[in-house]
Amino acid sequence: MSVIDWRSSPLSMKRVIHLALGQTTYARAYALQHALHRMRCQGEIGDILITVEHDPVFTIGRSGSRANIRVSEQERQRAGIPVYEIERGGDVTYHGPGQLVCYPIIDLRDYGRDIKRYIASLEQAMIDLCADWEVSADRRAGYPGVWVGERKIASIGVSVRHWVTQHGLAFNVDVSKEHFAMINPCGLPIEMISLVDLVSAPIPMEDVTQRLLDHMAMIFGWNIVVENPNEYWRKIDD
């Protein structure tokens, strides 16, 4: 059991809805995330967890800069990679196929209003996930995310408004090195690595997703219930 396990609270086994979006554009997932965040703030829905693989995209957080996109506008456009400036923390990152992205939309008033502990819990879930494949990963002081030595395997960038979380984590399973090479990830001169670079056996994305959810459920004390995302798409499309 993790030392940051939340289950010692009376909120054990809190029901959380899981929406698996598959692969979709960043714009569409972003619109859904915003709508669900608003509904959660207004108490219209309970806690929700989105998993998704994005089409290739660069996102820039509040402290970020387009200067950390290393290629020209023409090269970026030829690669077909849009850019979104968003409200999460952090600098520039890449999302694309082969990367598991998870967006928890939860009310931290039910979790002690502790943002640092929340981020540490997301990191712990991914550290535990790496251990499932016998990969030793850890934190790095001052740099949110998960590291394997000097290389980064997962990123975290969150936004919290009215104590409800938005954005979340991105775990590299088998991500394009060429696309990551177009940026300074997180604004740093670092190398990004994928799980497939460290493990010889095939790694199905569905296995990684389920194991991550299992670790998050263990750490946060969640009962994760799968629902059809189409019901929620309709809420924002109507």
**148: β partners:** 151
Query: Does any domain span residue 118?
Result: yes
Decide if 3 is inside a domain: no
Q: For residue 2, what pLDDT band results from cuts at 50, 70 and 90?
A: very low
Domain around 217: 14-237
Domain count of the fold of the chain: 1
Give the pLDDT confidence score for residue 226 in this predicted structure.
Answer: 95
Q: Which two tokens stand for residue 68?
A: 């950390």
Catalytic residue (one of 41, 102, 130, 186): 186
pLDDT score, position 90: 84
CATH number at 118 reads 3.30.930.10
Write down the pTM of the prediction. Answer: 0.93
Q: Residues of the chain with pLDDT > 90: what percent?
A: 80
Instruction: Respond yes or no: is residue 130 known to be catalytic.
Output: no
Strand 143-148 relative to strand 138-140, pairing = antiparallel
The predicted-structure confidence for 83-92, as pLDDT tens digits, reads as follows 999 999 888 9
229 within a domain of the structure (yes/no):
yes
Lowest mean pLDDT among 9-23, 49-63, 149-163: 9-23
Residue 7 falls inside a structural domain: no
In a domain, 5, yes or no: no
Give the number of other Cβ atoms within 10 Å of residue 224's Cβ. Answer: 17
> How confident is the model over 50-61, as pLDDT tens digits?
999 999 999 998
Q: Is 147 helix (H, G, I), strand (E, B) or coil?
A: strand
Residue 3 above 50 pLDDT? Answer: no
DSSP letter assigned to residue 2: -
Q: Kindly state whether residue 214 falls inside one of the protein's structural domains.
A: yes
Do the strands 143-148 and 151-161 form a parallel or antiparallel pair, or are they unpaired? antiparallel
6 located within any domain: no
Q: Say if 204 falls within a structural domain.
A: yes
Q: Residues 215-222: what's their mean pLDDT?
A: 96
| Helices 229-237, 26-41: crossing angle, 10 deg rounding | 80
Q: Which of the four pLDDT bands, split at 50, 70 and 90, describes residue 185?
A: confident
Distance CA 139, CA 146 (A): 5
